[in-house]
Amino acid sequence: MQLKKRPLFLYVLLLVLSFTLPVPGSAAAKKEVLSWDEAVKMSRGQTVDWYMWGGSPAVNRYVNGYLAPELKKKYGIHLRQVPVKDIAEVVSKLIVEKQAGKDSDGSVDLMWINGENFRTCKQHDLLYGPFADKLPNQQFVDWSKPTVKNDFGTPVDGMESPWGSAQMVMIYDTARTPQPPKSISALIAWIKANPGRFTYPAPPDFTGSVLVRHFFYHAAGTVDTWQGEYSAAELTKAADATYTLLNDLKSSLWRNGDTYPESPVKMNTLFADGQIDFSFSYHQGEASRNILDGLFPETVRTYVFDEGTITNTHFVAIPYNAKDTAAAMVVANFLLSPAAQLEKAVPEVWGDFPEISPHKLPVPWQEKFTGLPKGKATLSDAELQAHQLPEPPSTILIELEKGWVDHVLKNR
């Protein structure tokens, strides 16, 4: 019963704290964006804390084994990878920091980002920039590409700098499934005919979410509508059709759709263990990479749907309160250098597709890119480029993710 006295303590404490706490300053004046020369000059000796999804040893290997030593050597910049589970956590942290008035000396210097997280950052003024157009290596980027100009329908406006391109590919084992279903409708039929052999990561997981968007395009019967003007009614109709479709499939999914893998890598594990017959990935070269690491059997291959698969670009951005902005800019620029992009594309390293356009490069570099060996399971550039679909705007993406949780997961 002594507990009754405790609130008094708390009130007193609260009172004391409320007097001692600093009042957050009003929104800080926007920082001047550095010029390239200033950035290079100031960057030497700075440390860049790069927050990124840390779940892929291949990516970690590229960042810590190649980028960090190169940056140290070339620019005297110390690159430190800060692995996180989900970059959304970092965005949420920045929002809290902004509310708390921490407008400088922030710990995040650079983050690996795109899509809805970028949109949130832009909406809340959490980004430094525009800085992308200040970077010399921008010349190699094809800015006319819609996926570079707009990130999930949000104009990039130089607030983030492209790093790599992703395209969803289906992963299958030729030893198990010699004839994979080459379209969404064929896939639906296949799932129904082979109950328990397919699943997808639960949205809002990035990869699970992209599959739901493919089903959305299929259910809506159109891709282009969502790139321009569309009415709320149209969206609701198409979204509802998507949920009906997915609910309909639920009983044919792995474990009857009672539970879902929470990440693409968990799905890869299920696939490798022979529990399911398909995996899919946002990284065109991931299957080859996993074969090299012994995680997938040698007979694994990838394919894209006849109607195409969704493509997007991943970027890096600098937060508004970053401490080492100059060095972060230099890192962003180095990421786009032909050498770094080439190394990134090597199957043994990561196998991520370059974001710079080979035809904009000097001829010797062009040859290096075209001469690059592809991984065993990786499709050719021509095959991939012939089957590309755009992302819908991120408002649709969020709508679908929330709707999936309510209507498919919780079945309301």
Partner 1 sequence: MRVQKWILFFSVLLSVLLPFLPLVLWSTSERWFYPGLLPQSFGLRAWTYVFGTAGDQIVTGLSSSFSLALVTTIVSLILGIPAGRALGLYDFPGKKMVSLLLILPIIVPPLSVSMGLHFWFIQLRLAETFVGVVLIHLTVCLPYTIFVIWGVFTDYNPDFEEQAQSLGASPAKIIVQVMLPMILPGITVAALFSFLLSWSQYLSTLIIGGGKLLTLPILLFSLMDSGDRPVAAAVSLVFILPAFLALMGSAYNLGRSGLQGVR
Partner 2 sequence: MTGSSLHSTAIDAGTGRKTSLLQLSGLLGPALATVLVLFGGGLALGLLQALGYLPATGLASIGLQHFTRVLQDPDFSKSLFLTLYIAATSTLIAAVISIFLALSLMRWAADSRTVHFILQIPLTVPHLVIAISVTLLLAPAGMLSRLLSSVAIIQTPAEFPLLVNDGWGIGILTVYIWKEIPFITFMLLSVLKNMGTELLEAGATLNASRLQRFSHIILPVIAPSLGAACLIVFAFTFGAFEVPYLLGRTYPLALPVWAYKNYSDIDLLARPEGIAIGLIIAAIVIIAIFLSQIVLHFGRKRGLTI
Residues making contact with partner 1 (CB under 8 A): 2-3, 5-6, 17, 21-22, 24, 49, 51, 53-57, 60-61, 64-65, 81-85, 89-90, 93, 96-97, 99-102, 105, 107, 263-269, 272-275, 293-295, 297
Please give the backbone phi and psi of residue 170, each rounded to the nearest 5 degrees, phi first: -85, 145
Residue 57 site contact among partner 1, partner 2, none (CB < 5 to 8 Å, cut-off depends on kind): partner 1
**Binding-site partner at residue 161 among partner 2, partner 1, none, CB < 5 to 8 Å by type:** none
Taking residues 85 to 124 in sequence order and writing x for each that binds partner 2 by CB under 8 A, - otherwise, the string is -x-xx-xxx-xx--xxx--------------xx--x----
Q: Residue 84: name its binding partner from partner 2, partner 1, none (Cβ under 5 to 8 Å by kind).
A: partner 1
Say which DSSP state 67 is in.
I
Residue with Cβ nearer partner 2 (197 or 283)? 197
Q: Considering only 3-11, 148-156, 159-167, 325-333, which stretch makes contact with partner 2 by CB under 8 A?
A: 3-11
* Cα angle, residue 222 at apex, residues 219 and 226 outer, rounded to 5°: 105
Q: Is-contact 328 110, C-beta < 8 A?
A: yes
Residue linked to tokens 């991939």 = 384
Note whether 25 binds partner 2 by CB under 8 A.
no
Position 41 contacts partner 2 (CB under 8 A): no
Cα 405 from Cα 412, distance rounded (Å): 9
Q: Least CB distance from residue 46 to partner 1, whole Å?
A: 16
Q: Is 152 in the site for partner 2 (CB under 8 A)?
A: no
Q: How far is the CB of 90 from partner 2 (least distance, A)?
A: 9
Cβ–Cβ under 8 Å, residues 301 and 172: yes
Closer residue to partner 1, CB minimum distance, 245 or 295? 295
* Alpha helices by DSSP H, 336-412: 338-345, 363-370, 381-385, 394-403
Contact positions with partner 2 (CB under 8 A) in 391-410: 405, 409-410
Please list every residue from 216 through 275 that binds partner 2, using CB under 8 A: 254-255, 258-260, 262, 269-270, 273-275
Query: Which of these, 28, 400, 409, 411, lies nearest to 219 by C-alpha position?
Result: 400
Q: Does 209 bind partner 2 (CB under 8 A)?
A: no
- Give SS3 for 278: strand
Q: Quickly tell me which residue has 């991120």 as its tokens.
A: 394
CA distance 177 to 180: 6
Residue 116 interacts with which of partner 2, partner 1, none, CB < 5 to 8 Å by class: partner 2
C-alpha–C-alpha distance, residues 252 and 247, integer Å: 10
Based on CB atoms, which residue is closest to partner 1, 97 or 401?
97
Collapse the DSSP code of 83 into the 3-class scheme (helix H, G, I; strand E, B; otherwise coil) and give the result. strand
Q: Which is nearer to partner 2, 120 or 378 (CB)?
A: 120
CA-based radius of gyration for the chain: 23
The token pair that represents 114 in the structure block: 């795109």
C-alpha closest to that of 212 among 405, 7, 10: 405
Crossing angle of the two packed helices 394-403 and 115-123, in degrees rounded to 10: 110
Interatomic CA distance for residues 254 and 200, integer angstroms: 9
Token pair, residue 213, equals 């968007």
**Residue 294's binding partner out of partner 2, partner 1, none, with CB under 5 to 8 Å set by partner kind:** partner 1
Minimum separation from the CB atom of position 196 to partner 2 (A): 5
Which residue, 96 or 233, has its beta carbon nearer to partner 2? 96
> Which lies closer to partner 2 via its Cβ, residue 6 or residue 73?
6
For the beta carbon of residue 3, count every other beta carbon within 10 angstroms: 6
Least CB distance from residue 397 to partner 2, whole Å?
13
* Residue 315 DSSP class: E
Tell me how far apart the alpha carbons of residues 293 and 288 are, in angstroms, rounded to a whole number: 9
**Can residue 175 be called a binding residue for partner 2 (CB under 8 A)?**
no
Nearer to partner 1, 147 or 321 (CB): 321
CB of 85 to partner 1, least distance (A): 6
9 binds partner 2 (CB under 8 A): yes
Shortest Å distance, C-beta 101 to partner 2: 8
Tally of CB atoms within 10 A around 141? 19
Residues that bind partner 2 (CB under 8 A): 3, 6, 9-10, 13-14, 17, 21, 23-24, 86, 88-89, 91-93, 95-96, 99-101, 116-117, 120, 196, 202, 254-255, 258-260, 262, 269-270, 273-275, 405, 409-410
